[in-house]
């Protein structure tokens, strides 16, 4: 039977007794104040109704309360909600708490013990929360919600909620992606080949520091043998036909095994550092490597981090600016250190036309990441002459050799 496109301007029924009541954000240009949202963003929330009780899973980012409440009330008056469940407390799912709590004072609030602490910290509402433990169950009348601790996906308070009878999993941020639900609620309505890069960019930014936890969580879930008929993440589409299509991709991306890809991030004020970068890029490609080259001045940081999954090596190129590292390049050094891009082979080339060598300043970051610094760390003086070109080619050859026999990136 042909599916009709679901209209996410309204509440959408997923199965009998389960609805999506989230919101689509086409207003905010950034997520977490850092990552571009060219296709918007969804903050998914769900209602589960049993014969006796009704639960609301997740809320929404601040600024969307009116839209959110309107969707909930297509299903049930907000004041009749019995339980509000927070899978975790990042404000994209909790920003409207002050409005919602006031409108349903009778609802019991459930979160993990760490979630209870965050509720107190952010909203002064810790006393309202009943902390649930791993494996606890909630009977809604013929329907059971089970709470499962999955910390660090990507906050310490994270849990999954599982609708036992119908095998519907609400896995919080896990298996999410960037983008509003303009193609409909369900993944089978989407052009998924176009969506996967946005899911990968989401994993590579929001969850990048916790990839090991993702791998362990998927193993734990599979070993638990509970099964999933429908996967309802907190961002991105709902998978009602083939939940493994996203889970297996997350599994592969999160393993983060090194490939033959080199990410180059090069900044330049007047072009000569890009001339150096072109020599390195050309040589690496001649050596059979795939090169993703980003201009540090204009690259979207999330896109760079998305490409850093399964990367084999990194090249940084920067001029000197005010006797320091060109700031737009230094931002990526800070970002990579924050996102634990540890243990990679890294090559550098710089410019010291003011007679200040910034290589030691770059190496402070690389040493913090336990990078394998590839010699020579080339220092140029404007457009590369024949001697500098030769050094850059040697650098590319040494980097190529270092990439052989690589294992998993830590
Ligand atoms: Fe979607 Fe970590 O909040």
In the chain, where are the structural domains located? 12-255, 261-399
Ligand 1: residue whose CA is nearest its atom 2: 90
Q: How far apart are CA 369 and CA 372, in angstroms?
A: 9
Report which secondary-structure segment, H or E, holds 218.
helix 211-224
* Regions of the chain with pLDDT less than 50: 1-2, 407-410
DSSP 8-state class, residue 126: G
Cross-strand partners of 160: 148
pLDDT tens for residues 239-265?
Answer: 999 999 999 999 999 988 898 999 999
User: What is the pLDDT at residue 208?
Assistant: 87
In the block, which residue shows the tokens 């090249």? 315
Query: Closest by alpha carbon to 29, among 302, 215, 231?
Result: 302
Is any atom of ligand 1 closer than 6 Å to the C-beta of 157? Answer: no
User: What is the pLDDT at residue 409?
Assistant: 38
Is any atom of ligand 1 closer than 6 Å to the C-beta of 213? Answer: no
Residue count of the chain: 410
In the block, which residue shows the tokens 């589409």? 237
CA 91 to ligand 1 centroid distance, Å: 7
CA 362 to ligand 1 centroid distance, Å: 32
- Examine domains 12-255 and 261-399 and report if their fold is the same: no
Q: Which atom of ligand 1 is nearest to the CA of 206?
A: 2
User: What is the pLDDT at residue 156?
Assistant: 95
Report the chain's terminal Cα–Cα distance, integer Å.
Answer: 46
> Exposed, middle or buried by CB within 10 Å (0-12, 13-18, 19+), for 185?
buried
Is any atom of ligand 1 closer than 6 Å to the C-beta of 90? Answer: yes
Q: Give the global pTM.
A: 0.93
Ligand 1: residue whose CA is nearest its atom 3: 90
In this structure, are residues 75 and 45 in contact, taking their beta carbons and an 8 Å threshold?
no
In this structure, are residues 380 and 276 in contact, taking their beta carbons and an 8 Å threshold?
yes
Domain 261-399 falls in which CATH fold?
Rossmann fold (3.40.50)
User: What is the pLDDT at residue 14?
Assistant: 98
Q: Does domain 12-255 have CATH number 3.60.15.10?
A: yes
Is any atom of ligand 1 closer than 6 Å to the C-beta of 234? Answer: yes
Other beta carbons less than 10 A from residue 76's beta carbon: 17
Instruction: Return the exposure string of 282-321: e unless at least 16 CB atoms fall within 10 Å of the residue's CB, then b.
Output: ebbeebebebbbbebeebebbbbbbbbbbbbbbbbbbbbb
Q: Which atom of ligand 1 is nearest to the CA of 91?
A: 3
Ligand 1: residue whose CA is nearest its atom 1: 173
């Amino acid at each position: 039977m042909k599916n009709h496109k679901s209209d996410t301007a309204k509440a959408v029924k997923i199965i009998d007794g389960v609805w999506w009541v989230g919101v689509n954000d086409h207003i905010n240009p950034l997520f977490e104040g850092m990552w571009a949202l060219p296709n918007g963003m969804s903050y998914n929330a769900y209602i589960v109704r049993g014969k006796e009780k009704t639960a609301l899973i997740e809320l929404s980012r601040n600024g969307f309360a009116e839209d959110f409440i309107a969707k909930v009330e297509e299903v049930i008056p907000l004041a009749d909600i019995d339980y509000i469940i927070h899978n975790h407390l990042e404000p994209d799912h909790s920003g409207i708490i002050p409005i919602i709590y006031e409108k349903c004072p009778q609802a019991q609030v459930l979160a993990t013990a760490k979630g209870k602490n965050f509720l107190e910290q952010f909203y002064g509402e810790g006393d309202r929360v009943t902390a649930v433990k791993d494996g606890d169950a909630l009977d809604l009348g013929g329907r059971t919600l089970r709470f499962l601790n999955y910390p660090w996906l990507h906050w310490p308070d994270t849990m999954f909620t599982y609708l036992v009878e119908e095998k519907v999993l609400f896995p919080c941020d896990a298996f999410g992606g960037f983008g509003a639900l303009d193609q409909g609620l369900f993944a089978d309505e989407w052009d998924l080949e176009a969506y996967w890069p946005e899911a990968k960019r989401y994993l590579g930014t929001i969850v990048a520091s916790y990839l090991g936890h993702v791998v362990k969580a998927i193993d734990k879930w599979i070993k638990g043998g509970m099964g999933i008929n429908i996967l309802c993440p907190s961002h991105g589409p709902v998978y009602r036909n083939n939940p493994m299509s996203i889970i297996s991709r997350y599994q592969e991306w999160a393993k983060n095994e090194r490939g033959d890809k080199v990410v180059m991030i090069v900044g330049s004020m007047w072009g000569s550092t890009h001339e150096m970068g072109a020599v390195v890029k050309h040589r690496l490609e001649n050596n059979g490597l795939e090169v993703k080259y980003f201009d540090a001045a204009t690259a979207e940081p999330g896109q760079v981090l998305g490409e850093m999954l399964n990367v084999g090596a990194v090249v940084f190129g920067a001029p000197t600016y005010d006797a320091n590292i060109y700031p737009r390049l230094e931002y990526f050094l800070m970002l990579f250190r924050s996102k634990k891009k540890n243990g990679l082979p890294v090559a550098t080339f710089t410019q010291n036309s003011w007679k200040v060598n910034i290589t030691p300043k770059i190496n402070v970051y690389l040493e913090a990441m336990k990078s394998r610094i590839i010699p020579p760390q080339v220092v140029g003086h404007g457009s590369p002459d024949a001697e500098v070109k030769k050094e850059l080619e040697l650098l590319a050859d040494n980097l190529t050799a270092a990439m052989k026999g690589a294992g998993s990136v830590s």
